[in-house]
Structure 1
Amino acid sequence: MSEKKLAANEGIKIRSNYLRGTITEGLADLSTGSMSEDDQQLLKFHGTYQQDDRDLRAGRRKHRLDKAYSFMIRIRVPGGVATPQQWLETDRIATQFANGTIKLTTRQAFQFHGIIKSNLKRSIAEINQAAMDTIAACGDVNRNVMCNPNPYLSSVHAQALKIAQDISTHLTPQTKAYHEIWLDGEKIESSEEDHEPIYGKTYLPRKFKITVAVPPSNDVDIFANCLSFIAIAEEGQVVGYNVAVGGGMGSTHGDEATYPRLADVIGFCTPEQVVDVAEKVVMIQRDFGDRTNRKHARFKYTVDDHGADWILAKLNEYLGYELQPVREYVFTDNGDRFGWVEDERGQFHYTMFVEGGRVLDTDDYPMRTGLREIAKHHQGDFRLTANQNLIIANVSPESRPEIEKLLEQYGIKGSHLRSGLRLSSIACVALPTCGLALAESERYLPKLITNLEETIEDAGLRHDSITIRMTGCPNGCGRPFISEIGFVGRGPERYNVYLGGGHAGQRLNKLYRQDVAAGEIQQLLSPILHRYAKERNEGEHFGDFVIRSGYVAATKQGGDFHSNIKSDAYASA
């Protein structure tokens, strides 16, 4: 039987000369604001996507104009920790080259939108001058490594953060193309060839996502990622990490072969083994991932195709030693802790709510200006959370009054005085810039929550945390398939509605209603929320209640974090 044909992207990577392609020539061609189709794929490895403003498409088409092309740039922030100076530089670049806003992503990265091609190289160069980079922020490689920004356990967090940064450094592509194209690095002679010791010439079959979590908080959603490390701490020291493999959110409407999947926890390793384990898991995906069908190319399908036991055996083989048995751990939630928190060292951390992760100024809320002024005085760091919020971290007792004064002056102090539903929300960018979006997300979810707040106020649920997430398509960038209430765009102003995810991100939700008009969502959910308020057991979360009450069936048995049961609900989605 003949072998399957490789996916088109594999050929692009093979021909690219380690991600160079014709990007340099394309950037120099200012007769158009776009890049060639092959180079658009390669640009992702360098941290940027070509996009266009879909709000303007019809008008420009009417006048026979090209699309309003621009580029999104994503900055890697391993572990989500940035210095005040890096914040100031990010803010400056947003003004000088982008659309005047900063997007905090669900993977603890900075994101710019609206950068035109003539400013693309300079933007990336100046990002690097600020001791940050964009390489591998996108593309078929390991993406930004996430780490729980737990403000309570600073000593443990510091150890976990170091691990996340070490993984990120080790798995960064070695090609010199990034420095040649964007930083005017010296070009290699044609007789020489780059070497990618981990990825090889064709890199990975698809993107790869890694997280590090510090229980009891699962705010990085480890079960939704390809590879995760769960810190096991004893007396303030991390003694090792449980290893979880095979999570992923993306699916395709109407394609039964695509589905969200929760990760399996397969073993335990010491801190010294983590980077080695990460490398070998990536190599397994490199060697056994599907390169013929990109919809089946994520690591979750490799794990499903071969089984978690096979993955563990193959990992032990690649390592040359065996992982230890899984250690006990408990996750209790996947939300952020808002307001001031004092850690074990006496340092203070202020977590603020950033709706949709969009940092901008409005007439009545100059948030971006306020954060700029805080960065000028702050001596600690900034921590991006996986829920698109921001922590002004490591504030000394002496500096706290000054920071508090600025929080008050710019209206940030009350940012978290919102409903529990709003504070537990995530939205992807979607329209107008994402080319995959079928419906609104970032621009619509705040309005929907405002409508739902009428219901929760009436039901007495204002302070209850119910995770609610919306994405404009089923690719799952906002991790909607593990939220207690999830919305996935199907078309303009229409969504699939999912219920029953685990409050700690440990259980998939399930399709409740398909193709619901946006204007009907409040009416659909209000009776369920009222019933929850009246009939819930003490301490019962909304996701558990809707399963107990029969609105949807459970997708996992017994709440066992170590098992994985795929939900047939996604086949009909």
Structure 2
Amino acid sequence: MKKTPLSDNERLKAQSNFLRGTIREDLNDQLTGGFNGDNFQLIRFHGMYQQDNRDIRAERLKQKLEPLHSVMLRVRLPGGIISPKQWLGIDAFAGNSTEYGSIRVTNRQAVQLHGVLKHNIKPVHQLLNQLGLDARATAGDVNRNVLCTSNPVESELHQQAYAWAKKISEHLLPKTNAYAEIWLDGEKVEQPESEPILGQHYLPRKFKTAIVIPPQNDVDIHANDLNFVAIEQAGQLIGFNVLVGGGLAMTHGDTSTYPRLASEFGFITLDHVLAIAEAVVSTQRDWGNRSNRRNAKTKYTLDRVGVDTFKAEVEQRAGCQFAPIKPYAFTSRGDRIGWIHGIDGKQHLTLFIPSGRLIDQPGLLRKTGIAKIAAMHKGDFRLTPNQNIIVAGVAPEDVQDINAIAVEHGLINQHLTPQQQDAMACVSFPTCPLAMAEAERVLPELIEHLDDILAAQQLANESIIFRVTGCPNGCGRAMLAEVGLVGRALGRYDLYLGGNRQGTRIPRLYQSNKQIEDILKTLEGLISQWSQNKQHGEGFGDYVVRANIVTPVVNSSVDFYQP
């Protein structure tokens, strides 16, 4: 029987000498601002993507210049917690040594620096090391940054869950010394290394892990390969429900790809957390599709071999059995913007950051404002999966001053609407090489139109979980929105309807390849119907399903592409 050939990514990983490649030599190549050959892919395992400014690509081509290459670098922050000192170090580098001068808070609780030119790449890694940070495994075919609910209210429970996010992240990191050798001038390890969890070929595709504390589903657990749902008793964490196989990416025109909700495996106590995490990862390592990267994620492995078969293998490898799922429920996904009192008596300020982008603009110095807060703050910062920033554990004597700084720099907006808070977009143009349509840059205009429509229907205090992504790869999590726009071409999107506010239902395609103007007209009509016919407390996504405007997606591997 003829074997299906492996994808070329499998070759380059196997031949990379445990992720070293020739990256170090490539750094000294002054003839190009980019990376050559396999190194273009290998730098992803070190937390970077090679990009260029697509706004000026055509002009540079006319001038017979190569694209203005740079890298986007992600900082690994399990659970999204960063100290004020660490923030100030990153802030200074972003302002002085990047093409765009901005910091972006991602919906995976990481920090992204866009426009890092080649000569600044090694210095930024060394800066991160000095700050006690790194960019390891924030990209590539490995377990990525581990998410954790940002909940600032139940502080003790959050602290326990966050500790597990850190442990899981460290346990699943690549063991190779390549990162230290290349970026930190670490001692070269001559003997062959091993990757006891990830293997010589690493994983078939990227792998995402999250910890969530009900009733808040801010991490969107159904977007992740591996999920731990915190179960507490008398305020203490006693274990986790484990869900496996979530993921949102798909490919236009390829019906073998689809978004998928994670499957419930069962409950585990705390003493089994790392063993279960390792067993899920190693099972996916060994069973995942290494021939077709479009079908290489954990969700496709589960659908191919069966949930029960995958679960049984995890139990065998971990040496423990799952208990029945403990009861849990989600009520919301959004952040509570503004000042919040925690049960521990501390105060926390959640700041709304549009699309997570911090940059100074005339009359709106958000980046400077966060830096000024960092200079006096005695607690920490928590980056939320909704791209916002929580100034956590504010000392009583600092509340007034921090509030004043936030107001002065536009970080507190008294006119913030519910719809602005419940919207999200991926980066897309000008930096993402996969972008087909605008996302982050078009979101403010779209939300302004939506706010006008809602106000006209006497729904100004209502909102819709609304997300825009520039391509179907899922970064903006549109496939868990009540209304999701997925880019097809400049100015054209697929319109998906019917997700819910809790993030536990995938929306269905309603219109394909439509211009923004047509989509807004469609939404205006549907929101009018919702206004007139909605039941008490009924969200837009639940209404369009109840009214048979779209049928709910029940099993995405079977019915996602059905009308």
When normalised by structure 2's length, the TM-score is 0.98
Instruction: State whether structure 2 residue 209 is matched by structure 1 residue 218.
Output: no
- Give the counterpart letter for 1:568 in structure 2: D
Return the alpha-carbon distance in structure 2 between the equivalents of residues 520 and 554 of structure 1.
23
Partner of 2:139: 138
Q: CA deviation at 1:209?
A: 0.1
Partner of 2:29: 29
1:54-65 equivalence runs, <5 A: 54-65=54-65
The answer to whether the 8 Å contact 1:493/1:517 transfers is yes
Q: Among the aligned pairs, what percent are the same residue?
A: 46
- Give the counterpart letter for 1:97 in structure 2: S
1:165-214 deviation line (CA, Å, top 9, x unaligned): 1000111111000000000001122xx11121111111000000000000
Partner of 2:404: 405
Return the alpha-carbon distance in structure 2 between the equivalents of residues 66 and 92 of structure 1.
29
1:203-214 equivalence runs, <5 A: 203-214=202-213
Return the alpha-carbon distance in structure 1 between the equivalents of residues 166 and 245 of structure 2.
21
Q: CA deviation at 1:508?
A: 0.3
Q: CA deviation at 1:567?
A: 6.1
Partner of 1:560: none
Partner of 1:252: 251
Say which SS state the counterpart of residue 455 (structure 1) adopts. Answer: helix
Q: CA deviation at 1:408?
A: 2.3
Partner of 1:367: 366
Change (3 A) 1:571 1:3: farther
Partner of 1:93: 93
Partner of 1:329: 328
1:315-394 equivalence runs, <5 A: 315-394=314-393
Q: CA deviation at 1:530?
A: 1.6
1:357-407 deviation line (CA, Å, top 9, x unaligned): 101111121111111100000001101110111111111223212212222
1:473 to 471, 484, 496: 471
- Give the counterpart letter for 1:439 in structure 2: A
1:59-138 equivalence runs, <5 A: 59-98=59-98, 99-138=100-139
Return the alpha-carbon distance in structure 2 between the equivalents of residues 307 and 347 of structure 1.
47
1:225-273 deviation line (CA, Å, top 9, x unaligned): 1000000111100111000000000000000100000001110111221
- Give the counterpart letter for 1:538 in structure 2: H
When normalised by structure 1's length, the TM-score is 0.96
1:475-514 equivalence runs, <5 A: 475-514=473-512
Return the alpha-carbon distance in structure 2 between the equivalents of residues 202 and 257 of structure 1.
24
Say which SS state the counterpart of residue 50 (structure 1) adopts. Answer: strand
Return the alpha-carbon distance in structure 2 between the equivalents of residues 530 and 425 of structure 1.
20
- Give the counterpart letter for 1:153 in structure 2: E
- Give the counterpart letter for 1:149 in structure 2: S
Say which SS state the counterpart of residue 49 (structure 2) adopts. Answer: strand
Q: CA deviation at 1:465?
A: 3.0
Instruction: State whether structure 2 residue 166 is matched by structure 1 residue 165.
Output: yes
Say which SS state the counterpart of residue 524 (structure 1) adopts. Answer: helix
Return the alpha-carbon distance in structure 1 between the equivalents of residues 490 and 559 of structure 2.
25
Return the alpha-carbon distance in structure 2 between the equivalents of residues 547 and 147 of structure 1.
30
- Give the counterpart letter for 1:15 in structure 2: Q
Taking only aligned residues, the RMSD between alpha carbons, in angstroms, comes to 1.2
Say which SS state the counterpart of residue 397 (structure 2) adopts. Answer: coil
Partner of 2:199: 200
- Give the counterpart letter for 2:559 in structure 1: D
The answer to whether the 8 Å contact 1:137/1:143 transfers is yes
Say which SS state the counterpart of residue 55 (structure 1) adopts. Answer: coil
Partner of 1:561: none
Partner of 1:302: 301
Partner of 1:568: 559
The answer to whether the 8 Å contact 1:346/1:397 transfers is no
Return the alpha-carbon distance in structure 2 between the equivalents of residues 566 and 537 of structure 1.
31
- Give the counterpart letter for 1:67 in structure 2: P
Return the alpha-carbon distance in structure 2 between the equivalents of residues 357 and 411 of structure 1.
14
The answer to whether the 8 Å contact 1:259/1:571 transfers is no
Return the alpha-carbon distance in structure 2 between the equivalents of residues 18 and 535 of structure 1.
59
1:409-558 equivalence runs, <5 A: 409-414=408-413, 417-556=415-554
Return the alpha-carbon distance in structure 2 between the equivalents of residues 399 and 449 of structure 1.
34
Return the alpha-carbon distance in structure 1 between the equivalents of residues 510 and 551 of structure 2.
10
Partner of 1:152: 153
Partner of 1:286: 285
Return the alpha-carbon distance in structure 2 between the equivalents of residues 359 and 411 of structure 1.
11
Return the alpha-carbon distance in structure 2 between the equivalents of residues 238 and 466 of structure 1.
32
Q: CA deviation at 1:9?
A: 0.3
- Give the counterpart letter for 1:14 in structure 2: A
Residue ranges of structure 2 left out of the alignment (5+ in a row)? none
Say which SS state the counterpart of residue 509 (structure 2) adopts. Answer: strand
The answer to whether the 8 Å contact 2:72/2:114 transfers is yes
Say which SS state the counterpart of residue 304 (structure 1) adopts. Answer: helix
Q: CA deviation at 1:570?
A: 4.2
Say which SS state the counterpart of residue 348 (structure 2) adopts. Answer: strand
The range that moved more, 397-406 or 70-79, is: 397-406
Residue ranges of structure 1 left out of the alignment (5+ in a row)? 557-563
The answer to whether the 8 Å contact 1:254/1:571 transfers is no
Instruction: State whether structure 2 residue 166 is matched by structure 1 residue 175.
Output: no
How many aligned positions are there?
562
Return the alpha-carbon distance in structure 2 between the equivalents of residues 448 and 81 of structure 1.
31
The answer to whether the 8 Å contact 1:555/1:566 transfers is no
- Give the counterpart letter for 2:149 in structure 1: N
Change (3 A) 1:120 1:217: same
